[in-house]
């Protein structure tokens, strides 16, 4: 997305992020990063979105 978007709900932001992604690279971060990665995988498993390349990085908690 080239323009700035405001979302009232966090879930709506996550759905839009996954909807417009062509792939998903998950780099080391916190629990929010893991949450977004697993949210994307859940949407693929429940057939809500089409499968796309995804790569988890190494997480150090």
What are 31-57's pLDDT values in tens digits?
A: 877 888 888 888 888 888 788 777 766
The number of domains in the chain is 1
User: For the chain, what percentages of helix, strand and coil (3-state, to nearest 5) are there?
Assistant: 40, 10, 50
Assign residue 8 a region: left if phi > 0, alpha if psi is -120 to 50, beta otherwise?
A: alpha
pLDDT tier, 60 (very low <50, low <70, confident <90, very high otherwise): very low
- The single residue listed with the structure tokens 């909807």 is 19
Residue 42 lies in domain:
10-56
Residue 17 domain-assigned (yes or no): yes
Strands 54-56 and 24-26: parallel
- The first and second tokens of residue 1, run together, are 């997305």
pTM for the predicted model, two decimal places: 0.62
Q: Does residue 61 lie within any of the structural domains? A: no
- Residue 52, classed as helix, strand or coil, is coil
3-state secondary structure of 26: strand
């Amino acid at each position: 997305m080239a323009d700035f978007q405001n979302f009232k709900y966090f879930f709506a932001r996550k759905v839009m992020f996954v909807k417009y992604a062509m792939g998903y690279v998950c780099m080391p971060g916190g629990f929010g990063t893991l949450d977004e990665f697993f949210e994307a995988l859940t949407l693929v498993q429940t057939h809500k979105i089409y499968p796309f390349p995804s790569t988890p990085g190494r997480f150090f908690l």
